[in-house]
């Protein structure tokens, strides 16, 4: 594991791990504890751009592409954990402690890091988070299987179209930032629909009570039932948590409510 290259100011980096290279960017600010941003499934660090544009400039940030997404590589057949990758990234930069913000899949990654290495995490922001080891509803599974069948048949454009049309993104498709979502999906390789080498995990819901870091939970009333239920369980289980629920937004608060997410995050991290 080593940092291949890194530049000052707003700097790019690439970190090699077992079977992967994680690519990302750092932005220097005045605060000593950096904020590390973790994107959702099918996305990349670019999905944080609207939030970063509105974020307090004093915050130092690290945004990276999770293994196999965006510009980060993943060697087929090498089992891994996104949470372990995140801890390895902290090690590579010799960061004793960070603030974490995770969207959807990135929320599970952030929570996994907080559970496995609690001393490394000062505060957590969860945006429409997912839980690892979740038992998905029949409705979700049916839609997911249709996408997977198309991808495995080599029909990636069909798979991307089905993902774009997924009910998860209904409100985002009607928002001013719909094109950003469409572009993100168009750039997604789709490899995880065909083969995902993530290790199976014990249901995270059974470990949430052990999260020690103060947590801000940002959710949306128009999100899908699976994510609404996950949010309810997270809110009930984590001891030190505050929740803000947007009554008129959907899953991708980072696109639909970027300025509001940035403001809530900045205020929470200042405390």
Q: How far apart are CA 36 and CA 23, in angstroms?
A: 13
Which structural domain range is residue 20 located in?
2-135+197-270
Name residue, tokens 């974020």. 55
Q: CA distances (Å), 145 to each of 142, 159, 163, in order? A: 5, 10, 11
Does position 77 have pLDDT exceeding 80, yes or no? yes
Q: Does the residue 163 lie in any domain?
A: no
- Read off φ and ψ for residue 9, nearest 5 degrees: 60, -130
> How many CB atoms are located within 10 Å of the residue 250 CB?
25
pLDDT at 6 over 50: no
What residues contact residue 94 under an 8 Å CB cut-off, 6+ apart?
none
In a domain, 88, yes or no: yes
Q: Is residue 212 part of a domain?
A: yes
243: β partners: 217
DSSP 48: G
pLDDT higher than threshold 60 for residue 73: yes
Number of domains observed in the structure of the chain: 1
The dihedrals phi and psi of 106, each to the nearest 5 degrees, come to -60, -25
Q: What's the CA gap between 24 and 264, in Å, rounded? A: 24
Q: What is the CATH number of the domain that holds 245?
A: 3.40.50.1820
**Alpha carbons 202 and 68: distance in angstroms, whole number:** 22
- Amino acid 5: pLDDT: 36
The answer to whether residue 159 is domain-embedded is: no
Q: Is residue 180 part of a domain?
A: no
For residue range 212-269, list pLDDT tens digits in order: 999 999 999 999 999 999 999 999 999 999 999 999 999 999 999 999 999 999 999 9
Q: What's the residue count for the chain?
A: 271
Residue 150 CA from chain centroid, whole number: 25
- Give the residue among 143, 192, 133 at the shortest CA–CA distance from 168: 143
Residues in CB range of 226: below 8 A, 6 or more apart = 134, 136, 137, 140
- pLDDT at residue 10 in the model: 65
Tens digits of residue pLDDT in 156-190: 999 999 999 999 999 999 999 999 999 999 999 99
In a domain, residue 126? The reply is: yes
Which pLDDT value is given to residue 2? 44
CB 255 within 8 A of CB 50: yes
Evaluate whether residue 87 is within a structural domain: yes
What's the mean per-residue pLDDT of the chain? 94
């Amino acid at each position: 594991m080593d940092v291949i290259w890194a530049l000052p100011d707003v700097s790019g980096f690439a970190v090699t791990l077992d079977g992967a290279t994680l690519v990302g960017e750092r932005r220097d600010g005045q605060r000593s504890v950096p904020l590390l941003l973790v994107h959702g499934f099918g996305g990349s660090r670019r999905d944080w751009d609207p939030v970063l544009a509105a974020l307090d400039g004093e915050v130092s940030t690290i945004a990276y592409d999770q293994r196999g997404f965006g510009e980060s590589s993943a060697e087929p057949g090498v089992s891994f954990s996104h949470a372990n990758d995140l801890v390895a990234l902290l090690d590579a930069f010799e960061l004793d402690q960070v603030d974490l913000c995770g969207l959807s899949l990135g929320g599970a990654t952030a929570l996994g890091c907080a559970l496995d290495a609690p001393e490394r995490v000062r505060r957590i922001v969860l945006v429409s988070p997912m839980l690892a080891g979740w038992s998905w509803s029949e409705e979700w599974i049916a839609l997911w299987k249709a996408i997977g069948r198309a991808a495995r048949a080599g029909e990636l454009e069909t798979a991307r179209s089905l993902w774009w049309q997924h009910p998860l993104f209904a409100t985002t498709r009607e928002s001013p930032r719909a094109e950003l979502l469409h572009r993100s999906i168009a750039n997604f390789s789709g490899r995880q629909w065909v083969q995902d080498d993530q290790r199976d995990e014990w249901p995270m819901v059974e470990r949430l009570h052990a999260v020690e870091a103060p947590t801000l939970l940002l959710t949306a009333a128009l999100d899908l039932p699976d994510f609404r239920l996950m949010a309810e369980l997270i809110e009930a289980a984590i001891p030190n948590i505050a929740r803000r629920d947007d009554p008129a937004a959907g899953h991708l608060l980072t696109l639909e409510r970027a300025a509001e997410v940035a403001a809530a995050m900045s205020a929470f991290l200042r405390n």
